């Protein structure tokens, strides 16, 4: 039997990862070409540093149901997508033959800067997402552990000859 839930899960994983890379690339390119954009920013460095972390944080929240290794893979894939799009936009004038001057070096800057920021945001977002809304499997295991702990506590109190209500009143 073909598992459609696994296909759906993998599709959502790839979709979110690709969209995170596109969003990061869009903000990077907009900040690099600030003179040509509709919104003029006083300090494009703020956008360059903040948006990859914020976008990756949201990606980490979305990937709270996945393993940590998958989260790191998502950070790598979204970084590669973003760098590919940034380099495509940076070198498009040179490829089209309309470039004047040396090629831009923002591509090297973005490739060095992006991965640590995206990795940080993704892992922190996943950790907070797992804390706020734990995956269903984690909730199920926690409830089973709580039930087993209660059962052991009741057995121990029966062995000792006390009722659990008497035991609760004697706690320091």
Which residue would you say has higher pLDDT here, 151 or 96? 151
pLDDT given at position 168: 60
pLDDT tens track for 119-158? 999 999 998 988 888 777 778 888 999 999 999 998 888 8
pLDDT given at position 50: 86
| CA of residue 162 relative to chain centroid, distance | 50
Span 37-64, average pLDDT: 81
Token readout for 79 is: 């970084």
Is 52 within 8 Å of 117 (Cβ atoms)? yes
Stated pTM of the model: 0.72
Rounded to whole angstroms, how far apart are CA atoms 26 and 20?
Answer: 10
Residue 172 clears pLDDT 70, i.e. is over it: no
pLDDT given at position 45: 76
Rounded to whole angstroms, how far apart are CA atoms 146 and 163?
Answer: 19
């Amino acid at each position: 039997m073909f598992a459609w839930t696994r296909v759906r899960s993998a599709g959502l994983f790839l979709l979110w990862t690709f969209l995170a890379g596109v969003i990061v690339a869009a903000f990077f390119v907009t900040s690099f070409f600030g003179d040509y954009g509709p919104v003029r920013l006083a300090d494009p460095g703020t956008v360059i540093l903040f948006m990859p972390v914020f976008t990756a944080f949201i990606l980490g929240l979305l990937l709270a149901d996945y393993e940590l290794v998958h989260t790191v893979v998502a950070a790598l894939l979204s970084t590669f997508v973003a760098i590919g799009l940034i380099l495509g936009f940076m070198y498009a004038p040179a490829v089209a033959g309309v470039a004047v001057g040396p090629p831009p070096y923002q591509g090297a800057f973005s490739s060095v800067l992006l991965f640590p920021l995206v990795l940080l945001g993704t892992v922190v977002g996943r950790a907070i997402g797992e804390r706020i809304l734990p995956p269903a499997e984690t909730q199920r295991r926690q409830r089973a552990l709580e039930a087993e702990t209660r059962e052991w506590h009741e057995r121990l109190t029966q062995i000792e000859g006390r009722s659990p209500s008497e035991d609760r009143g004697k706690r320091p």
